[in-house]
Each structure stands twice: as C-alpha cells, then as structure tokens.
Amino acid sequence: MNELEKVENHHATHDVDIEKGQFSGSHGTSGSTTPQVAHSATAQNAKEKDLDSASSSQIEDDIGFAPISTRKSHHISRSRSNNGFGVDDLDDEAEMEEEADQEAAARQGAGETVDEEKRFEVGWEGGDSDPLNPRSMPTWRKWIIIAVLSIGSFAVTHASAIYTSTYTQMNAEFHCSREVATLGLSFFVLGIALGPFWSPLAEFYGRRPIYICSFVGFLIWLIPSAVAKNIQTMLIARFFQGLAGAAFLSVSGGTVGDLFTRDKFQLPMAIFALSPFIGPATGPLVGGLINTFTTWRWTYYFLIIWAGVLLACVVVLVPETYHPILLKRKAANLRKTTGDNRYHAPIERNTKSVASTLGNALLRPFQLLMLEPMILMLDLYSAVLLGVLYLFFGAFPLVFRTNYGFNLWQVGLTFIGLGVSMVLAAFITPVWTRIRNGLAEKRFKKTGIMKGEPEDQLPPVIVGAPLITGGLFMFGFSTYPWVHWIVPIIGSSIFGLG
C-alpha cells in the first residue's frame, strides 16, 4: 500500500468515526511522544481516540490559554466539544479533506505521512502532571508569579496617576498651563491603549522575554521624566512609559491561564484584574505625600527605584509559562537527546511572519468594534468608566482644595474611598462565580448540556450599572462647602464598587 492509499484509508476511517460520534481533534497529543506502529486498523483507531480524549480534556481546561496548534488541521474540525455538540457543516468538511490530501501529497516526497507527523508531535506527558507543564508547579510558586505580575500591573497604572500630584511644582518650573500638563496623563493612557501589540510578540518569543524587555523600557523612560528640563520632554517620555508598561496589562492575563486550570483560575484572575484599578486610586495618595514634603522629581525617583526592584523580581522569580514555547523547548531537547529530527512542537509548524501577525493583532480590535455591536457597546461602557475614573484626578483637587481647604496630601487621602471599594468588589468575585455556575447548572437541567453562555457574565454588570450612576449623582450633588466632605467621598466609593 503506497502512502497516498494510507492517507485515503485514514480519512475513510475518520468518516466512520464521525458517524459514531467520535471526533478527532487537531491540537496534538498530550500523552507520550514516543512513536508507535499500529498493528491493525482497530488498534490505530483506539489509540487515536484515547489521544484525542486527553487533548480535548486539556483544551477545555485551558479556556483559551492553551497551546493551540498553528498548522492546518488534517482532520475534521470540531466547532464544539464532545459534550453533545455537533460538527461543522459538510462544506467545511469537504474543504478540510481537500486540504489534508494536498498536505499529505506535499509531504509524501519527503517520506513523511500525516500519521507520522501526529505521532512525533510533542505534547504534555500526563497532561497537567507533566513536570515541564507550568500547571504542575507548587501552589506557592504559582502565587509568587501572580503576585509579581500583579504588582507590575499595579505599578504601571500607579505611575499613570501619580503624575497628577506633580502639577503645582512642575507647572511653575516649566511655565506651562494645567491643560498642557494634563496631556502627560492623556499620552500615558494612549500608550497603554496601543499595548496589545505586545501579545502577538509573546506568541513568538514567550511571555518572559516580553516582561523583561517591556519593564526595562518602562524603567528607562522614567529617567527622562526625572531629569526633564521642559514639558516637551515630559510628554514624550510619558507616552513611551505607557507603551512599554502596557505589556503587563495585555500579556499577564495569559500567564494566569498558563498556571491555573479552569476550576481554579477565578481567584488569581480576580486579583490580577484588580491591580490595574487600584493603581490609579493610590497614585494621588502616594504622590500627594511626596510632593508635599519634597520636590516633584522625587516622584520619579520613587518610581525608578520601584521599577528596578520589580525588574529584578521578574528576572529571578518569573519563569517562562507559555505552553507552546515550552513544548518547543521540549521538542528541541528530544531531538538533541534522541538524534531524531522528526520530533516537533505545534508552534514549529507556524509559517506566519512576525510582521503579519503583529499587523493582524492591531487590526483585529478595530474589526471587532465595527462588526460586533455587543463588543462595541461593552467597550464603550468600559471606556466611559475608565474616562470618569481619570476625570476624578482633576475633580478631586478642585473640589477638596477649593471647597474644603485640603492641602495636597489630604487630597491624596480622599482617593482611599475609591481604593477600598475596588478591593471590596474583588472579594465579591466568588459570589458572581457561584451565580454563573448556578445558571449553568440550571441550563443543564433543562437541556442536558453543561455549558456557560456569555450572558452569564452580565449579573455583576446589571448590579454595578445603577451603583455607578448613583455614586456619580451623589458625588456631583454633594460638592458644596456646607456638605460634609465625607459625603462626596462616599459617592466616589459607590462608583468604585459599581
């Protein structure tokens, strides 16, 4: 039997499996990487079924953060998992069968069959229990990594807001208006907005190099702010600070998925998601104390020291956790130790260039905004909330210094209400998780399918939206000298909770 006949028999076998409800995945194996020769068609089918079952289990746990094969599938694509869902339509099936035949014919000359490629594709031995898998790390080490990355995200957003406490001294030295100085805050946030370009780079080089390079850049661009002689230098440096620091906001979430499975990632993800919001709330507090008792340049000396310590922690305590990169290293080690160059990781079959991937990553958000109304609405919702949060940096000094006679460090203390409410909201996360699980279980009783829906994420938004409106109303209509200063702070806290 020649190689082409083997491929045709392989597809015929899978057509029978589809009729029986057995689907073959395309994400590689998660078991042993040692090649084995099938003794019969039945034994081969049983082996592939076991491999696909292990792979499917791993993919479901990864919730989007798992290593995803970058080569074209040579099997029938699964649009859904095996939990009672259907397969793609017949047109997609025919198209993928044609691609498989073309791919097999292209490799026949090199003596490589589709089955051989699959057998030599490197995966995790034993799934998450593989010693090289980040999910097999001790829990305490996982939490150290999460803590370092969360503090890094906190430091970046903290730097965005601490700048507002330098206005009085810096404006007098640079002879600029408050409006021009405020551009430094806007440029920093603009740099953060362009941060998604870090994510596709992590797909090629891993997360650890991105963390190190970005934080080195963040540290370097803090220096011009500390020694700036004019407002132009300050504005340019602020933009690149936000651009460099954005990696911790756009890439770190993937590290949480690398380390924790679906049933354990809620708490670390809640802590990580909280840190970027706590930063803006604490920036004016720390900056107020610094700028009250020393010069404004010490604001940046403090940030430089903090960033240097964090960079050392990242280098020492944060290893590479991106699964495809680790599998690539595992495949390279197997090729070196066995002398067999057929071992490969899924990412090594990737033929896309860095430039094209980066371009697609920057284009895709705009495509989603234009083509998905729900994404557009939720993004507008988040943009308004973040915009109002940063507007507080201008409103608090105006309200509490003008109406209540607070000095600079006392104004910084007024942001504590926002910080406390956000921490409280993070601790409520398990409640929303329980509600989402309850909705999924209720749906399971009706349909027999255990599946989460996007609408299950809406209960906290439904509760939070009225709190946001009520908090802003309370803050806006209580900023009078004859109203006690605690009332607008309570209003801002209600906004922060929402």
Q: Which two tokens stand for residue 409?
A: 């460090």
Orientation of helix 139-162 relative to helix 207-227, angle to 10°: 30
Say whether 121 sits in a helix, a strand or coil. strand
pLDDT, residue 103, reads 52
Q: Are 290 and 241 in contact (CB under 8 A)?
A: no
Q: Are 257 and 248 in contact (CB under 8 A)?
A: no
Best CA proximity match to 124, nearest among 176, 185, 59, 175: 59
Q: Are 235 and 183 in contact (CB under 8 A)?
A: yes
Cα separations in angstroms, 30 against 34, 114, 323, 434, 470: 12, 17, 12, 31, 51
Rounded to an integer, what distance in angstroms lies between the CA atom of residue 152 and that of residue 211? 9
Q: Which two tokens stand for residue 241?
A: 């600070």
Rounded to an integer, what distance in angstroms lies between the CA atom of residue 197 and that of residue 128? 29
Q: Are 427 and 266 in contact (CB under 8 A)?
A: no
pLDDT, residue 105, reads 52
The DSSP letter of residue 76 is: -
Residue 407, burial from CB neighbour count under 10 angstroms (0-12, 13-18, 19+): exposed
Q: Which CATH superfamily is domain 136-321 in?
A: MFS general substrate transporter like domains (1.20.1250.20)
Q: Are 248 and 215 in contact (CB under 8 A)?
A: yes
Please report, for the chain, the start and end positions of each structural domain, with discontinuous segments joined by +.
3-117, 136-321, 372-427+458-498
pLDDT, residue 238, reads 93
Say whether 261 sits in a helix, a strand or coil. coil
Q: Which two tokens stand for residue 283?
A: 């920036």
pLDDT, residue 34, reads 40
Mean pLDDT by 10 residues, the chain (498 residues): 43 41 37 38 42 41 38 37 37 46 51 61 75 86 91 90 89 89 89 78 83 91 92 93 86 84 78 81 87 90 93 92 84 81 74 72 80 85 85 85 85 85 82 83 80 79 88 88 89 87
pLDDT, residue 116, reads 62
Orientation of helix 139-162 relative to helix 252-259, angle to 10°: 170
Q: Are 213 and 363 in contact (CB under 8 A)?
A: no
**Residue tagged 């490799």 (tokens):** 107
pLDDT, residue 98, reads 52
